[in-house]
Amino acid sequence: MLMATAVPVANSKPDVDRLKSILPGVPLVESPFFDDILPTCDFDAETARVGRDLHEKGFAVVRFPDEEFDARAERIKNRLAPRFDFAGWRENGWKVNDGLRVQDAWTFDADVRAIAVNARILQILEKLYGRKAWPFQTLNFPVGTQQHYHSDSVHFSSIPERFMCGVWVALEDIGDDAGPLEYYPGSHKWPIVYNDQVGVRIAGAKRRASQELYHQVWEALVEKTHLAPEYFSPRKGDALIWAANLLHGGSCQRNPNATRWSQVTHYFFENCCYVTPMASDMFVGKLQLRRLVNIADGKQVPNVYVDAPYASLGISFRFREFLATMRRSLSPIARKIRH
């Protein structure tokens, strides 16, 4: 009788070069192989820490790296304050969660722009995502948003997925009664929700795209996973970086007289298509493509699918479809001629 012989298994180390190359369409920090790859990366200690936090929790807290930040924050508040009707908001908007904001103040405020294009933040993001980062939108808030928790991925996303992130920075100390930012650690690892999954079709429908379409799904997922929110009550100059799919929002502002001055900058990464999934039927080709400007240089950023400009592929696809249609139309005629 033959006896089976145990064959010793060598302690094999992961082939990191292979792991780095097999998923080029996944951000490094979102990769399932991130823990294997990270030790081989030439990252400084702070970048590595931010990477580990983003990978595991979906967010990371940093001190905003700008020696002029305090003065910059005060100038932003002074310039933007006259734009807001604080009295009207406290009387009519506070209880119905009607927030105050200025979008894209970078177009007229040099300090808002300076925060958005901070070189150190861009460097950290580029290293962790594996592609060059570029800022495309700023939002400035004087009070809490009180916004239902949500994933940014329904508002602005990329193809490939998850090449987007946000950086929220406090322009003043923010207390617990001012409606601090809330977020759900680990929720960034959930699947991104698309319209077809919630039974919604945009193409040919008279439906208004709205974040509310997804609220029940997010609420049910939070209930199912027993995931508890965390709250960010920062000091002036504290910043929170979050992953594209992290559930986050604005908690209830208990004190209407409190302010919550802050700035959000949203970032995409190069060589992607930039889309609005909420207003798209992604899998039947109805894409609401975004035509965006890089805040850093003021230039429009092309939509790129894998390795080619999206516009050129669209022309190619349409031309092939035209040829196929022509062949189908001409084939009966060709058969008659042959006979």
Q: Which amino acid is at 96?
A: V
CATH class of 23-306: mainly beta
What is the Cα–Cα distance from 297 to 53, expressed in whole angstroms?
A: 30
Give residue-wise pLDDT tens across range 166-182.
Answer: 999 999 999 999 999 99
Q: Residue ranges of the chain with pLDDT lower than 70?
A: 1-12, 95-98, 314-339
Global model pTM greater than 0.85:
yes
Which of 214, 99, 233 has the alpha carbon at shortest distance from 173?
Answer: 233
10 Å CB burial of residue 321 (0-12, 13-18, 19+) is exposed
Q: Is the peptide bond before 82 cis (omega within 30 degrees of 0)?
A: no
Spell out the domain ranges in the chain. Answer: 23-306, 308-339
Which of 92, 139, 76, 90 has the alpha carbon at shortest distance from 295?
Answer: 139
Give the gyration radius of the chain's Cα atoms: 24
Give residue-wise pLDDT tens across range 193-222.
Answer: 999 999 988 887 877 778 899 999 999 999
